[in-house]
Amino acid sequence: MAANCERTFIAIKPDGVQRGLVGEIIKRFEQKGFRLVAMKLVHASEDLLQNSHYIDLKDRPFYPGLVKYMNSGPVVAMVWEGLNVVKTGRVMLGETNPADSKPGTIRCDFLQFKVGRNIIHTASDSVESAQKRRSLWFKPAELVDYKSCAHDWIYE
Ligand code: IDP
Ligand code: MG
């Protein structure tokens, strides 16, 4: 796959949706020049959250609270594409703990300090984990292929 076709999974968590930050967050990814490949508003099931999405965190003390938080309302699940989008998406989000996030990042600009309410998710450690996470939320047919008219202006 071409480097500028890298894809990542991003989700705006229930607090981000309830606080009306969906447009602001999408705007940042659009302005950066990433291409929106898929998006849906979904109330994630406990089964998806517990047994798939957050399975790696199941032994952590905050796991039950995390599942409850993510299941407390709708989330906006998205797939974004572009050069280094996995790593850059992580930088745009900021640190897990909003208090450690730098100005200009989503978790710094829209949050005070609570790690348990950090408005946005990314599967950020690798392209492979992003792909694995994406396939839990989207069927292949839901990923939309089109060429952005800005593509050649962004990538030369
Ligand atoms: P990340 O979302 O920045 O990748 P992870 O360590 O993968 O962070 O943790 C997943 C999610 O679990 C975090 O986004 C946050 O919602 C929650 N979480 C992580 N650490 C804590 C904690 O110490 N207390 C409460 N929730 C936490
Ligand atoms: Mg993580």
Ligand nearest the Cα atom of residue 115: 1
CB 61 within 8 A of CB 104: no
Q: Cβ(118) to ligand 1 under 6 A?
A: yes
The 10s digit of each residue's pLDDT in 32-69 is 999 999 999 999 999 999 999 999 999 999 999 999 99
The 10s digit of each residue's pLDDT in 121-134 is 997 789 999 999 99
**Residue whose structure tokens are 């730098």:** 102
Q: Cβ(105) to ligand 1 under 6 A?
A: no
CB 117 within 8 A of CB 152: no
Catalytic annotation on 121?
yes
Confidence of residue 112 (pLDDT cuts 50, 70, 90): confident
CB 78 within 8 A of CB 11: yes
Cα 86 to Cα 2, 66, 97: the distances in Å are 14, 23, 19
Element of type H or E holding 106: helix 106-109
* CB-count exposure of residue 116 (10 Å: 0-12, 13-18, 19+): exposed
**Nearest atom (ligand 1) to Cα of 70:** 16
**Nearest atom (ligand 1) to Cα of 125:** 4
